Amino acid sequence: MRIAFVARAWITRANALFRGRGYTAAQRAHLYVLASKTKGLTQSELAAILRISEASLSRRIKLSIEEGLVSRHPLSGDGRANLIRLEPKGLDALNASDRVAREDRTRLLAGVTDEELAITAKVLKLLMDRVPQTPERPDA
């Protein structure tokens, strides 16, 4: 439960930090992923990485397109799929939010060593990799 409580508190804090900039931590998440995928991702690929439904992501993408943060491009060879790409305005927004997040992390993680952070990151990645994307049914 501690991980769930910390995650909820961290997200609530991030949302408060970013609210004044016109977006939430959830709206920032897809920009963060797209920044590392310069060729773009399909909506289903992006939803899988973020572990959210395509319907939830669709609303976020629609808003981001309207704001000029991302763009949608037809995927050659598949008329049904589109590539979602980060636009320069989205990268600027992400960089601005990263500065705010970095300052906040510095305050929150004061006194935590690099080694402790590395171990924490390793454990969280291990848990993320081991937790199934969809809950397993106990009766299955």
Nearest CA-CA partner of 43 in 8, 74, 5: 74
> How much is the pLDDT for 112?
96
Q: Provide the pLDDT for residue 47.
A: 92
Q: What is the pLDDT of residue 138?
A: 56
Indicate the residue type of 103: E
Pairwise CA distance, residues 86 & 109, whole Å: 30
CA angle 36–90–6, rounded 5-degree value: 70
> Tell me, what's the pLDDT at 22?
66
Rounded Cα–Cα distance for residues 41 and 52 (Å): 15
Query: Residue 136's pLDDT is what?
Result: 53
pLDDT at 71: 95
What pLDDT does 38 receive?
86
- Regions of the chain short of the pLDDT cut 70: 22-23, 133-140
User: 3-class SS at 75?
Assistant: strand
- According to the model, what pLDDT value does residue 107 have? 92
Strand order in the sheet with 41-42: 41-42, 78-86, 70-75
pLDDT at 72: 93
